[in-house]
Amino acid sequence: MRKQQQVWEAEHANQGTLPTMAHVDPTSGVIFFVEYLKNKLGIQSGRIVDIGSGKGRNSVYLAEQGFQVDGLEYIQMAIDTAVKLAKERGVANKTHFRLAEMDSAWPFSDETFDVAIDSFSSIDIETKEGREICRDEMFRTLKKGSYALVTVCSTDDEWEKELIAQHPGLEPNSCIWPQNGKFQKDYNEPELREYYKAFEIVMLKKVTKPAFKLGREGIATNLWVVLRKK
**Distance separating alpha carbons of residues 115 and 141, to the nearest angstrom:** 10
Q: What tens digit of pLDDT does each residue of 108-157 get?
A: 999 999 999 999 999 999 999 999 999 999 999 999 999 999 999 999 99
Q: Is the dihedral of CA 219, 157, 36, 125 positive or negative?
A: negative
In single-letter form, the type of residue at position 163 comes to L
Q: Determine if the pTM surpasses 0.75.
A: yes
Secondary structure percentages of the chain, helix, strand, coil, to 5: 35, 35, 30
State the fold for domain 3-18+26-229: Rossmann fold (3.40.50)
Q: Domains of the chain: which residue ranges?
A: 3-18+26-229
In single-letter form, the type of residue at position 204 comes to L
DSSP helix/strand/coil, 199: strand
In single-letter form, the type of residue at position 176 comes to I
Q: What tens digit of pLDDT does each residue of 13-26 get?
A: 565 455 555 678 99
Give the pLDDT band of residue 58 (cuts 50, 70, 90). very high
DSSP helix/strand/coil, 157: coil
